[in-house]
């Protein structure tokens, strides 16, 4: 996104245009009126990364236009980044520039912050990191009151911790999350709170148990555990599953079980076509779950054919989408068995064409 696209004075107009561009396709699927959740106009990104460009002994943050990897665009300020990141950027750059050990062959920096005020900085290098780097990084971390991860090929060094702690307010309830470095988290914490509140409200009248696919670190799992009798959540990433289990314990939630399975594998387990030892430690047999509602938050490719077939068997489907095109394609398939009960748009990425969507589907009467 070019910096010229950031136009806070036109934010409401630009959001409305995005919604208007999408709405007709949902009208064709007989969707109800949509709820629209806006973002702060600036300072909304909790995750930011930049290349670090060297000109002699000088360093500067850089971004690039597509297809122009050798033409850096210097970034002196980045108004869509969270205030904590904006404040840290010049301090960090000055410190890296002044220290030969920290500056040598560094090529990327990644900022991960939270609404709660935590900060983790990842420094990425084209060289092996030694004891001298660790000593310099410890001094830098103490001076700036941050945690640092140093990365190079097949190497990861941690100064402090390699995660941030987040607290999100969902309809008056506060949930605490550990968010590991290089594990997916929602980049716009303010809009994420809207998403979680909307999902919770959408499910309040539903009964039975919830099956959640693509659960990540438990972003949706934690608040939805208050709504359903039991939750069975799946994820393939070991790092995300470890964080999700820890997040359950931190929040005192006892009615959720996690399984490290892909959506395809969970479909096979439910259909009885393949047993999985990874389900052996569930608090109850899979057959004892009353799985009436399915929650999916898939990657941009949407749901594959097998998962679509699985979704069509549920009474309710809560679908969170980062790609309206694949969502609409999936909804065209699911409309044979389900109708759209609720629709929401979430502006996770202001000043871009991107718009997140949330849909609650309920099964049509036989």
Q: Could you list the active site residues?
A: 322, 356
Output the CA–CA distances (angstroms, integers) from residue 191 to 40, 102, 201, 247, in the order listed: 8, 35, 15, 20
Q: CA-CA distance, 298 to 151, in Å (whole number)?
A: 28
Dihedral Cα 115, 121, 124, 127, nearest 10 deg: -170
Relative to beta strand 163-170, strand 106-113 is unpaired
Grouping H, G, I as helix, E, B as strand and the rest as coil, residue 252 is: coil
Q: CA-CA distance, 52 to 5, in Å (whole number)?
A: 22
Q: Which residues contact 147 (CB under 8 A, 6 or more apart)?
A: 118, 119, 120, 121, 141, 158, 159, 160, 161, 162, 164
Q: CA-CA distance, 115 to 169, in Å (whole number)?
A: 10
Under a CB-based contact definition with an 8 Å cutoff, are residues 215 and 296 in contact? no
Q: CA-CA distance, 356 to 327, in Å (whole number)?
A: 10
Q: CA-CA distance, 95 to 98, in Å (whole number)?
A: 5
Of 54, 75, 55, the residue nearest 64 (C-alpha): 75
Q: CA-CA distance, 234 to 211, in Å (whole number)?
A: 8
Q: CA-CA distance, 319 to 356, in Å (whole number)?
A: 11
**Other CB atoms within 10 Å distance of the CB of residue 179:** 25
Q: CA-CA distance, 82 to 49, in Å (whole number)?
A: 12
Q: Which residues contact 243 (CB under 8 A, 6 or more apart)?
A: 163, 177, 178, 179, 180, 183, 217, 218
């Amino acid at each position: 996104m070019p910096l010229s696209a950031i136009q806070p004075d036109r934010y409401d107009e630009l959001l409305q245009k995005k919604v208007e561009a999408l709405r007709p396709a949902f009208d064709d699927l007989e969707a109800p009126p949509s709820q629209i959740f806006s973002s702060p106009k600036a300072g909304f990104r909790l995750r930011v990364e930049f290349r670090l460009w060297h000109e002699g002994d000088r360093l500067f943050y850089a971004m690039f236009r597509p297809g122009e990897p050798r033409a850096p665009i210097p970034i002196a300020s980045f108004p869509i980044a969270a205030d904590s990141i904006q404040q840290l950027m010049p301090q960090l750059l000055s410190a890296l520039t002044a220290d030969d050990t920290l500056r040598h062959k560094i090529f990327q920096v990644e900022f991960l912050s939270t609404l709660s005020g935590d900060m983790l900085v990842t420094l990425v290098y084209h060289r092996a990191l030694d004891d001298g780097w660790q000593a310099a990084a410890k001094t830098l971390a103490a001076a700036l009151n941050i945690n640092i991860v140093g990365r190079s090929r097949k190497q990861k060094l941690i100064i402090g911790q390699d995660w941030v702690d987040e607290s999100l307010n969902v309809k008056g309830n506060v949930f605490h999350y550990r968010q590991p470095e290089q594990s997916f988290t929602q980049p716009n914490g303010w809009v994420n709170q809207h998403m979680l509140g909307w999902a919770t409200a959408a499910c309040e009248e539903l009964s039975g148990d919830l099956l959640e696919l693509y659960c990540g670190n438990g972003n949706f799992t934690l608040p939805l555990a208050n709504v359903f009798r039991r939750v069975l959540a799946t994820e393939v990433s070991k790092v995300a599953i470890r964080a999700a289990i820890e997040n359950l314990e931190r929040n005192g939630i006892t009615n959720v079980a996690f399984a490290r399975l892909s959506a395809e594998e969970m479909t096979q387990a439910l259909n009885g076509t393949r047993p999985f030892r990874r389900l052996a430690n569930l608090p109850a047999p899979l057959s004892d779950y009353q799985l009436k509602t399915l929650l999916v938050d898939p990657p941009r490719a949407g749901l594959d054919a097998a998962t679509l077939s699985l979704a069509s068997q549920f009474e309710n489907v809560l679908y969170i989408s980062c790609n309206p095109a694949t969502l609409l394609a999936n909804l065209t398939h699911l409309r044979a068995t389900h109708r759209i009960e609720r629709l929401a748009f979430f502006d996770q990425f202001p000043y871009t064409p991107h718009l997140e969507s949330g849909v609650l589907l309920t099964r049509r009467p036989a």
